[in-house]
């Protein structure tokens, strides 16, 4: 049985539809109706009317749409899926394909989440940085010293830190002095840090208006690095996700221990599949992008 992994923000790029709009037009139609823009055009060209993939507000629902459509391609191929998980906002397509959320509700929630986190980012300027070749304990100590936050544990030797501008700059300097390789990320704010807490209340209110069903697959949260089920637990994990690190290494390790090492990257780009290869030795990692007709399989965004 296979584990399906969904990417988060960062894989968005013009052309990321890769033929998905033709393969799953109903998915793009639902997203377009909810968002009021042509999502197929947005994913193909990077822009559609007022929508632009360069903006968090549009990138996140666009990635969700392409990820759900990609899962349809995987499902139609006959792949037997045992479990699903996502990196950050990748948890939302995981909720959709496991039957917990309807697609329209997921698009609304992700659009609201994107706007709320973007507002929080503008209120307190900050950023994120990738940190390679460093122990997690070392980086956590640096975060405590500076006021930055661990934002993601992606794989062995690949962490992400987040924080207000001054705190992040201090943390980057200390990490480099400790021997780490540090690279600033092109993002709009300090995501997965306490600076995103203003987004919690609007997301919680929106979640209360949505119907949740029982998962039909083994659903894992990369916020808790554990299986998750039940409306209250899922809602809380989605709220906590805003200010908590993405525990992707722990999540994939736990899934592989339970279900084996057959994993598939479901969505634009090949980032989560590449991470999975680093996390699970000798993993059989495949990419839905390679099944698509329009060359998306070659995209490495």
Residues designated as active site = 88, 192
* Residues 111 and 60 sit within 8 Å (Cβ to Cβ): yes
User: For residues 220 and 255, is the Cβ–Cβ distance under 8 A?
Assistant: yes
How far apart CA 108 and CA 206 sit, in angstroms, is 9
Length of the chain: 301
Number of alpha carbons in the 13 Å side-chain half-sphere of residue 277: 9
Up-side HSE of residue 60: CA atoms within 13 Å toward CB?
A: 25
| Rounded alpha-carbon distances, angstroms, from residue 301 to 10, 12, 13, 133, 272 | 7, 7, 7, 22, 11
CA 187 to chain centre: 13
């Amino acid at each position: 049985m296979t584990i399906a992994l969904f990417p988060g923000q960062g894989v968005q790029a013009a052309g990321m539809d890769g033929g998905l709009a033709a393969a799953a037009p109903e998915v793009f139609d639902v997203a377009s109706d909810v968002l009021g823009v042509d999502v197929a055009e947005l994913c193909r060209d990077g822009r559609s009317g007022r929508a632009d993939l360069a903006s968090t507000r549009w990138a996140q629902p666009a990635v969700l749409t392409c990820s759900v459509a990609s899962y349809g391609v995987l499902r139609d191929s006959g792949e037997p899926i045992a479990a699903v998980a996502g990196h950050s906002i990748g948890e939302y397509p995981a909720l959709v394909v496991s039957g917990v959320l309807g697609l329209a509700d997921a698009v609304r929630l992700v659009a609201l989440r994107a706007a709320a986190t973007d507002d929080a980012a503008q209120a307190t300027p900050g950023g994120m940085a990738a940190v390679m070749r460093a122990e997690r304990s070392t980086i956590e100590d640096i975060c405590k010293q500076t006021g930055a936050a661990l934002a993601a544990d992606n794989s062995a030797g690949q962490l992400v830190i987040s924080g207000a501008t001054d705190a992040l700059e201090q943390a980057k300097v200390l990490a480099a002095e400790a021997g780490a390789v540090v690279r600033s990320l092109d993002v709009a704010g300090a995501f997965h840090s306490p600076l995103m807490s203003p987004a919690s209340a609007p997301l919680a209110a929106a979640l209360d208006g949505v119907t949740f069903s029982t998962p039909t697959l083994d659903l894992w949260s990369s916020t808790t690095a554990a299986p998750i089920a039940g409306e209250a637990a899922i809602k809380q994990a989605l709220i906590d996700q805003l200010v908590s690190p993405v525990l992707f290494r722990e999540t994939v390790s736990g899934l592989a221990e339970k279900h084996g090492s057959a994993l598939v990257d479901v969505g634009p780009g090949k980032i989560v599949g590449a991470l999975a290869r680093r996390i699970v030795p000798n993993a059989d990692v495949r990419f839905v992008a390679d099944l698509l007709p329009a060359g998306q399989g070659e995209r490495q965004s």
